[in-house]
Structure 1
Amino acid sequence: MLHQKTAQFMAAVFGMFIIATAQVHAQDAAKPKLANVTILATGGTIAGSGATSTTTVGYTAATVGVQQLIKAVPELANVANVSGEQVFQIASESMTNEHWLTLAKRVNVLLAQNSVDGIVITHGTDTLEETAYFLNLVVKSRKPVVLVGAMRPSTAMSADGPINLYNAVLLAADPSAAGKGVLVAMGDQIHGARDVSKTNTSTPDAFKTTELGMLGYIQGSKPYFYRVSTRKHTVDSEFDISNLSALPQVDIVYGYANMNTVALDAFIAAGAKGIIHAGTGDGSVAARVKPGLVAARKGGAIIVRASRVGQGILARNGEANDDELDFVVADTLNPQKARILLMLALTKTNNTKELQRIFYNY
């Protein structure tokens, strides 16, 4: 009888264990599956440190590693399965073409893997918009790629890096971000890589898409999109960097009152294949500079007229007879982004009509 009661008791316990286990499995199955997001760290202010908690300028960038960045935001585990790689550890003013090629190739390798659903890239803010636009042109995936930075170092009492990083991972893990091109998550806002710019030296709200408008907001741990870019990007891009180890030299000549050709002449002498002329107003060309640009074009360099203003369409055959001079116009791209597009375009063609098509498509 004792053995029978023991057996009954053990059967009951085992039954309860089976039920409890089934309930746990049911609960796990009911939980939404988290996306796998890889964070590629490149340095910058988001990984910076200052002497005190009130140091918001004069700090040292690129001192904190990617694992420490992840550890500082434990809430990331609630929105994605996060892993990290330290690709570079630099201040972004030191970003080079070679850095871009290395980063882009790594992004493409990761996104080709079924185990990666999205990428977040931590980056210094000084050239964040340029890296974002470069990736927008060469990433070969619809999966989300989100760049993020901070305007204040990680040691500041008002550090914006942790919430920006959380929002970036949240965005990269969200299916609604797929197919919208490379994105920038800063200050609870979603920006498109083509049109966003850093507009302030030091305040947390520095990143804006001033004229064409941001793409959306992040609020309550959810992204909300209100518009998308109509320009070609990522999987629809014609640019392929898989076999590139370098990019053509393209330099920017800045327009100003009393301008001369010293910088232009130096760039051409140094072997520039293209010149972005960041002219005043609607890309105006000063009378004393025009002969130098004409000579540079006749010598084989591609001349792209852009504007230092920062907003507006650059009118073809407006402030210069572009058809006659065989120049290209930058459309709405700012000079630094026009440089990126021209570098990539020159890997495909030197024909100015084709180059103009490219500027109007991207």
Structure 2
Amino acid sequence: MSGLVLIDAGGTIASLPDAQGVLIGRQGTAGLRDVLARELRDGVVERQAYAGLSEDMGFGDAMHVASMVAEAAADGAAGVVVAHGTDTMEDVAFLVELFHGGSMPVVFTGAQRAASLPGCDGPANLHDAVAVARHSAARGVGTVIVFGGRILPARSARKLDSSGPEAFGPHGTAIGRVDGHGVRLTAMPKRAPVFALADPDPRVEIAALGLGSSPALIDALVAGGVGGLVIEGFGRGNVPTQLVPAVERAKAAGVLVGIATHCLEGGTAPAYESGARLAALGAVGAEDLSARKLRLLFAVALSGGRSASEAEARAREWLAR
């Protein structure tokens, strides 16, 4: 196969309104190939991975998408476009990037406004995604999100706007643009060693902190049997000092622990007392990853029954590249 595979993974771009006008998932295929202009349809094969809204997706659904991407790569596809719901697009795109190491571009896109609404943005985004996936300069780009004319690496892309057409950013991390005049790639993203395709360990959770957060949530998650825990802290990865003993207890219980920041940019570093104490305890700093993406890295690193120490080594190796 040398054509393009278009994977329908549900979401707003494939949604339908119910009798009250509320958007719901479509039961069958969305026929997204037919949305493309005639000249873009040639060589495009459409396959369905998921029907529904992306907030309902689980690891099994995400791995079905990843498996279909791997199958397309093995069959020699020139590129893959995944039409996906925006709520978890950044998660599934990053999960695919953890497994996809080849030169075939994988491009995620979707819509903020459904086809049933005036000003729907799905057709334009789909057109742009196909253009990127077919562009010769995109070979080796890995997994990206194309949305609102921007090309964003899966590693850094995050949904920033819940309803506007420029949904994803941060804009400063864009590696190119695409519009009616073509594709302009200005950089290639940082890529890391891939993992063998395997079901992620679901026993990884996120503890998001706020002003005056207590250790109770961390202790409760550990008591509930988590295998990995990502703490979404403040600033460079700081936490209230009263939480440090709870992290120590989690590590003693054999839990893989990481620290991320709620900030969109800047990343983590053990620059302040609490962050330095967490680092000394062995908490893995997320660096430029969001808490959601560090959670996915942990889930993949823990797959196959790896111990917390083995998974920590794999996660640190991935982050170091």
The answer to whether the superposition gives a TM-score over 0.5 is yes
Is the partner of 1:89 in helix, strand or coil?
Answer: coil
2:62 matched to 1:95? Answer: no
2:203 aligns with: 249
- 2:178–2:184 CA contact under 8 A, matched in 1: yes
Q: Give the AA of the match of 1:279.
A: G
Give distance in 2, aligned partners of 1:353 and 1:68. Answer: 43
1:26 aligns with: none
- Which structure: larger Rg? 1
In the comparison of the two structures, how many residue pairs are matched?
A: 315
2:270 matched to 1:316? Answer: yes
2:217 matched to 1:263? Answer: yes
- 1:141 counterpart (102, 114, 117): 102
Q: Cα offset for 1:76? A: 5.0
Give distance in 2, aligned partners of 1:70 and 1:78. Answer: 9
Q: Cα offset for 1:197? A: 0.8
Distance 1:353 1:88, change over 3 A: closer
Q: Cα offset for 1:357? A: 3.2
- 1:63 counterpart (17, 20, 26): 26
Q: Give the AA of the match of 2:56.
A: S
Give distance in 2, aligned partners of 1:325 and 1:63. Answer: 47
The 5 A counterparts of 1:111-122 are 111-114=73-76, 116-122=77-83
Q: Cα offset for 1:354? A: 5.2
Q: 1:135-184 deviations in whole A, cap 9, x for unaligned? A: 11102421111101100001111000011111111211222211011011
Q: Give the AA of the match of 2:182.
A: K
1:19 aligns with: none
TM-score, normalised to structure 2, is 0.90
Is the partner of 2:68 in helix, strand or coil?
Answer: helix
1:358 aligns with: 318
Give distance in 1, aligned partners of 2:162 and 2:143. Answer: 23
Is the partner of 1:278 in helix, strand or coil?
Answer: strand
1:299 aligns with: 253
User: Tell me, which stretches of 5 or more residues in structure 1 are unaligned?
Assistant: 1-33
- 1:47–1:64 CA contact under 8 A, matched in 2: no
Q: 1:21-58 deviations in whole A, cap 9, x for unaligned? A: xxxxxxxxxxxxx9611111111011123469xx9xx7
Q: Cα offset for 1:346? A: 2.5
Give distance in 2, aligned partners of 1:89 and 1:219. Answer: 29
The 5 A counterparts of 1:167-182 are 167-182=128-143
Task: Name the Cα RMSD after superposition.
Answer: 2.3
Q: Give the AA of the match of 2:90.
A: E
User: Tell me, which stretches of 5 or more residues in structure 2 are unaligned?
Assistant: none
Distance 1:304 1:98, change over 3 A: same
- 2:158–2:170 CA contact under 8 A, matched in 1: yes
2:10 matched to 1:49? Answer: no
Give distance in 2, aligned partners of 1:196 and 1:325. Answer: 30
2:163 matched to 1:202? Answer: yes
1:273 aligns with: 227
Q: Cα offset for 1:62? A: 2.6
Give distance in 1, aligned partners of 2:60 and 2:81. Answer: 20
2:182 aligns with: 222
- 1:283 counterpart (237, 242, 245): 237
Q: Give the AA of the match of 2:285.
A: V
Distance 1:164 1:277, change over 3 A: same
Q: Cα offset for 1:310? A: 1.9
Give distance in 1, aligned partners of 2:155 and 2:203. Answer: 21
Give distance in 1, aligned partners of 2:222 and 2:200. Answer: 18
Is the partner of 2:229 in helix, strand or coil?
Answer: strand
Distance 1:78 1:332, change over 3 A: closer
The percent of aligned pairs where both chains have the same amino acid is 27
TM-score, normalised to structure 1, is 0.81
**Does 157-166 or 311-320 show the bigger shift?**
311-320
Q: 1:56-90 deviations in whole A, cap 9, x for unaligned? A: xx7314327545322233x1543641111111112
The 5 A counterparts of 1:158-169 are 158-169=119-130
- 1:331 counterpart (275, 287, 305): 287
2:146 aligns with: 185
Distance 1:188 1:175, change over 3 A: same
- 1:274–1:301 CA contact under 8 A, matched in 2: yes
